[in-house]
């Protein structure tokens, strides 16, 4: 969900169906229960990115609803067994656990703009990125800092 605009690709069944088809080739519309599950998982993942502590870890693990995996005999990678919406959650759950084990998790951050909190991957060389987008949230922050300095002078 975009906190600033209120737009949410999972905001209703029609929006979620479009996103699932475009992003995951899942063509069947989610039920309201499935949609709530997907939103719960997304928000638990966002909270885990914002504050990685025992509570958020437990909430995140519960939100995955116990995805089951099999092992690909060629690559020895874990592959989600579920299809459809449960498969989508399993796909992202695996991405989170992979990121935590390969060290890339530290690059997943929440935007420092409290009105945004968009989760983003920090590609900066020294992992110093604070904003989902320098053009949007970064520029706004610089403008606020500039105005604050201007007000003091
Ligand atoms: Zn942002």
Listed by start position, the domains of the chain span 1-102, 112-153
Closest Cα partner for 2 from 141, 152, 132?
A: 132
How much distance in Å is there from the Cα of 19 to the middle of ligand 1? 21
Give percent of the chain with pLDDT exceeding 90. 71
Mean of the pLDDT values across residues 134-139?
85
Distance 110 CA to ligand 1 centre (A): 8
DSSP string of 57-112, one letter each residue:
HHHHHHHTT---EEE-TTT--EEE---HHHHHHHHHHHHHHHHHHHTGGGGEEE-S
pTM above 0.75, yes or no: yes
Q: State pLDDT tens for residues 74-115.
A: 999 999 998 889 999 999 999 999 999 999 999 999 999 988
Biggest alpha carbon–alpha carbon distance for the chain: 67
pLDDT the model gives residue 138: 85
> Alpha-carbon distance 23 to 47, whole Å?
22
Instruction: Report how far ligand 1's centroid is from the alpha carbon of 148 (Å).
Output: 20
Q: 24-48, pLDDT tens digit by residue? A: 999 999 999 999 999 999 999 999 9
């Amino acid at each position: 969900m975009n906190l600033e605009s209120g737009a949410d690709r999972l905001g209703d069944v029609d929006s979620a169906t479009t996103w699932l088809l475009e992003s995951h080739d899942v063509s069947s519309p989610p039920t309201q229960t499935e949609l709530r599950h997907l939103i719960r998982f997304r928000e638990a993942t966002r909270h885990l990115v914002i504050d990685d502590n025992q509570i958020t870890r437990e909430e995140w693990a519960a939100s995955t609803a116990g995805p089951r995996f099999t092992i690909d005999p060629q690559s020895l990678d874990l592959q989600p067994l579920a299809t459809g919406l449960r498969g989508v959650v399993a796909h992202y759950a695996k991405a989170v656990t992979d990121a935590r084990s390969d060290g890339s998790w530290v690059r997943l951050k929440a935007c420092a703009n409290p009105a945004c909190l968009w989760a983003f991957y920090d590609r900066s060389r020294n992992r110093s990125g604070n904003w989902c987008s320098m053009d949007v949230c970064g520029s706004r922050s610089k403008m606020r800092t500039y105005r604050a300095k201007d007000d003091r002078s």
